[in-house]
């Protein structure tokens, strides 16, 4: 090839690359506008991870909230306080006339898709203060939920951050996917912060599920408990650890098992999986309550979802959850809360 031909080839290649980059930049900008305030679950979860999470050194924790940061996600404002909680500010020192509850969990406890005041923690706090807790001036319920956490991470979060608040009661809200392995979180690269890349990945994931190359959600959840996998054993061991930690800290522990909300009005497909968790808790004398009964019979299951495509509990579902936990607290926690 002549020098002129070679130069022309390089020029054409440069034009092609420039054109691709230009189109990519235009698409990136368009997607940032389109998804600035969206209800697309996959994109909103990615935005949550990119904007409100940071990696941490503890491999059992992997990531935590970025303090003092806020983002508009799934139609609501999500603000993280200086202590890494989606909540108001609280002193680590607990006044003697305050009964303090710490809620651990994943995005369901965090309050995905609902305002702070419609989270289980804040509804429960209002209800307990409305009915009154004799012997205490007020009740505080701290929201320590972090999206995408599993049980191992929730217990590590209590060990690392939560116990510093000296709770009288710890409530762990257990969800079916809490037996997942702890993911490895890395600081997002430039491509990892791209709306275009995230959109393409989410659509590819949807295509793989639609084509059957990836398991459906129900198959995936059931698989987490099949053949006693290492991640399930780690979650069970974490529950045993939490029972021991809270006992040493002088706190009570309650585990509330939240059902997967796709199918609760009939037979519940994950009853056996829940039983595996309840067996572990019974062995360490930790009470557990099934929340499914209080969630059944309130119309179609989707009436309890954040959106028709996102089965996270909405504000109505969270109120039904809190309504089941509050009586247990007043009936079962010894001391002045009666």
**Closest by Cα among 191, 194, 193, 195 to 31:** 195
d(CA 273, CA 266): 17
Categorize the per-residue pLDDT at 191 as very low, low, confident or very high, splitting at 50, 70 and 90.
low
d(CA 70, CA 167): 26
Mean pLDDT, the chain, rounded, equals: 90
pLDDT > 70? residue 168: yes
* Cβ contact 321:294 at 8 Å: yes
User: pLDDT digit string (tens) for 132-164?
Assistant: 777 788 999 999 999 999 999 999 999 999 999
Highest mean pLDDT among 185-189, 263-267, 329-333: 263-267
Q: What is the mean pLDDT of residues 187-205?
A: 67
d(CA 302, CA 309): 9
User: pLDDT digit string (tens) for 58-96?
Assistant: 999 999 999 999 999 999 999 999 999 999 999 999 999
pLDDT > 90? residue 4: no
d(CA 216, CA 208): 10
Q: What pLDDT does 226 receive?
A: 95
pLDDT > 80? residue 117: yes
Q: What pLDDT does 338 receive?
A: 44
Q: What pLDDT does 26 receive?
A: 72
Q: Is the pTM of this model over 0.95?
A: no
* Cβ contact 307:112 at 8 Å: no
């Amino acid at each position: 090839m002549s020098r002129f031909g070679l130069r022309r080839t390089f020029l054409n290649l440069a034009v092609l690359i420039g054109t691709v980059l230009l189109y990519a930049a235009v698409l990136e900008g368009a997607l940032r506008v389109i998804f600035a305030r969206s209800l697309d679950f996959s994109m909103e979860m990615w935005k949550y991870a990119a904007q409100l999470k940071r990696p941490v050194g503890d491999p059992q924790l992997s990531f935590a909230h970025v303090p003092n940061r806020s983002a508009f996600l799934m139609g609501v404002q999500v603000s993280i306080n200086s202590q890494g909680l989606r909540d108001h500010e609280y002193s680590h020192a607990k006044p003697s006339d305050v009964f303090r509850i710490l809620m651990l969990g994943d995005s369901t406890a965090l309050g995905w898709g609902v305002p702070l005041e419609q989270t289980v923690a804040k509804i429960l706090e209002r209800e307990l203060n409305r009915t009154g807790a004799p012997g205490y001036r007020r009740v505080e319920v701290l929201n320590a939920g972090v999206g995408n956490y599993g049980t191992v991470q929730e217990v590590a979060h209590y060990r690392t951050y939560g116990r510093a608040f000296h709770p009288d009661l710890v409530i762990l809200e257990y969800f079916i996917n809490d037996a997942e392995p702890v993911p490895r979180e890395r600081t997002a690269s430039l491509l990892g912060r791209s709306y275009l890349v995230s959109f393409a990945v989410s659509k590819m994931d949807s295509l793989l599920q639609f084509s059957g190359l990836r398991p459906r959600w129900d198959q995936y959840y059931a698989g987490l408990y099949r053949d006693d996998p290492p991640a399930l054993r780690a979650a069970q061991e974490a529950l045993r650890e939490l029972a021991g930690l809270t006992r040493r800290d002088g706190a009570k522990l309650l585990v509330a098992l939240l059902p997967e909300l796709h199918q609760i009005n009939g037979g519940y497909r994950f009853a056996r999986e829940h039983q595996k968790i309840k067996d572990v808790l019974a062995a360490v004398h930790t009470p557990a309550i099934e929340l499914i009964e209080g969630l059944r019979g309130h119309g179609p299951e989707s009436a309890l979802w954040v959106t028709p495509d996102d089965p996270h509990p909405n504000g109505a579902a969270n109120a039904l959850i809190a309504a089941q936990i509050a009586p247990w607290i007043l009936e079962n926690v010894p001391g002045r809360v009666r």
